[in-house]
Chain A
Amino acid sequence: MTEAIQVAGLTKVFTVAKDHPPLRAVDGIDFTVREGEVFGFLGPNGAGKTSTIRMLTGLSHPTAGTARLLGLDLDKDLPRIKKRIGVVPEASNLYDELTAFDNLIFAMQLYGVPRAERQPRADALLERFRLGEKCDAPFAKLSRGMKRALTIAAALAHRPPLIFLDEPTTGLDVMSARNLRQMIAGLRDEGVTVFLTTHYLEEAERLCDRVAIIVKGRIVALDTVAGLRSGAQQKTLVEITLEGADGQPERKRVECDDGVESAVQRLLSENNGRHVLAVDTLRPSLEDVFVQLTGLNAEVMLSEKGGKGGGSVGG
């Protein structure tokens, strides 16, 4: 498998004011994103996620470091890179005055999609993103979820092999967020490489092949979700649900120091004779890993982003 993104020592320093020290928004990060994977980029507000995306997409100049996207040098081949990437920013930013259809057509015109392909491609994207009935509706009149979907559709209009999604489900209702997650999963199935920033840890857990956690401009962890979990200090727990004296379920937990089986045996022997309703193993979640690495409560991260609109992961 080849690399879609290779980043080495990428740094972004902002000059805030003359009497303030410069702000190192991104501090010498290194990572690679493999072709065809969904790569999660997690971090609290101000960690450097958006600054990283802006550098990788040519919207801002790196202070130091190098990056290669799709085998092309970011510094030397930016115009060619731009042709082959799609970007969905945090805010849906299509043109209010244009219809859903016209917005897609304009996106294709800008990227040089041949004239004959534009209309069928726009129709197909509208159908795929369940916007067929809204074809002639101005962007301004669409719901927030529809705007998000159309913004993603526009980013895909020129069939980029690499797409950047910055907080794609923020502020969406549960159903819209669920639909979008299905669409993102569908992109991976088509072989599109997805670079995804999100503050919904469950979303990252469900969608991402690998995850990097960035804190204060530095990557503090990078692995598969399973790898991050297994590296976490928290141990797997076994939870046993027993029938209580009053008939209500009662849960008891024990750490798996010497394997799940022996933990179950230990719990059963400690509660001999009581009716067992269920036995579960509780592995550390990505949230546990995140909290351990960042020292931040995941709830804090959600509230920083303005609520839990699309936070409930339902599919």
Chain B
Amino acid sequence: MLADDLRGMYYIALKDLKAYYFKPPNISWGILFPFAFILAFAIRDPGDVRSLVPGLLALTVLFSTSSMETIVIVFERRIGSLERLLLAPLRLPAMLAGKLLGGMTFGLTVTLVVLVVALAIFGASGTNWLVLAMALLLSATAFSAMGALVSVAVKEVFEAQTLANFFRFPMMFLGGIFVPVESLPPMLQILARLLPLTYSVEAFRVALSGGSWSTAALDLGVLAAFSVVLFMLAVRTMARRIE
């Protein structure tokens, strides 16, 4: 049973990457969109571009994992092909985990490209590689799970995009990418602390610019918790749809 689940997860992810993810529009969207935002802020305030890198990485993971992930499941349900996966000999959580794995793999690939470019420009000295790796992995998992939850919760592709943006855009402005969370009004600081992107940005900041292990541990722990909760909600929502 476990072998069937693992095999199914692997091949579903592979199929999704081949069929949907590694297409030029997705790659360009995943890379260019965060770059455009960061560039706009860098032009406005060219003083310390390096400080924007953690935000750039977090934003790239967010958009590259969730952009396609949010529509893959609802799209396949719409055209009927999701039924093929539900009929296959694997359990529902494994099927959804396969979907997550596809989104994560794509997101990590795109983010690694951005990371290599950033490190080439700004240097890698002082980088905490372990925290960086964990931040990449857990951010990708959390945002991919968020995308999967959105995708199983809606009926139409356009609804998925609307709902995803409802979460992504406030996160982008409250998550500490452009404005430090500490400088936000108290109410917005509380709101920011409810968003996974805040912890992702903070973890990348610790990894690239230094910071305490306890901060990193908290950030990574919260990202892991978001991953588990969002994934379980996605599984539960999907299970309810099977009458």
Which A residues lie at the B interface, using CB under 8 A? 14, 57-61, 79-80, 82-83, 87, 89, 91, 93-98, 102, 106-107, 109-112, 154
Contact = CB atoms under 8 A, between A and B. Distances in A.
Nearest to A14: B243
Contacts of A91: 80
A61 B242 contact: yes
A79 B90 CA distance: 7
Contacts, number: 67
B20 A97 contact: yes
Interface string B5-22: 001100110110011100
A79 B1 contact: yes
B88 interface: yes
Nearest to B84: A93
A61 B91 contact: no
Interface residues of B, number: 26
B89 interface: yes
Given A59-B87, A79-B91, A98-B19, A110 B11 contact: yes
A89 B80 contact: yes
Interface of B: 1, 3-4, 7-8, 11-12, 14-15, 18-20, 79-81, 83-91, 242-243
Given A59-B242, A60-B243, A82-B87, A96 B7 contact: no
A102 B88 CA distance: 17
Given A95-B81, A97-B18, 9 more contacts: A14-B243, A79-B90, A89-B83, A93-B81, A97-B20, A106-B15, A110-B8, A112-B4, A112-B7
- The B interface is mostly helix, strand or loop, or mixed, namely helix
Contacts of A112: 3-4, 7, 89
B91 A87 contact: no
Contact of B86 (A59, A61, A95): A59
B105 to A, nearest CB: 16
B89 A82 contact: yes
A109 B88 CA distance: 10
B80 A93 contact: yes
Given A106-B15, A112-B7, A61 B243 contact: yes
A87 B88 CA distance: 10
A82 B88 contact: yes
B61 to A, nearest CB: 24
A82 B5 CA distance: 13
Given A79-B1, A111-B88, A112-B4, A59 B83 contact: yes
B81 A94 contact: yes
B18 A98 contact: yes
Contacts of B83: 59, 89, 93
A229 to B, nearest CB: 35
B79 A96 contact: yes
A95 B18 CA distance: 11
Nearest to A158: B89
Given A59-B83, A97-B20, A79 B7 contact: no
Contacts of A82: 87-89
Given A59-B86, A82-B89, A112-B89, A93 B79 contact: yes
B112 to A, nearest CB: 24
B243 A97 contact: no
B89 A111 contact: yes
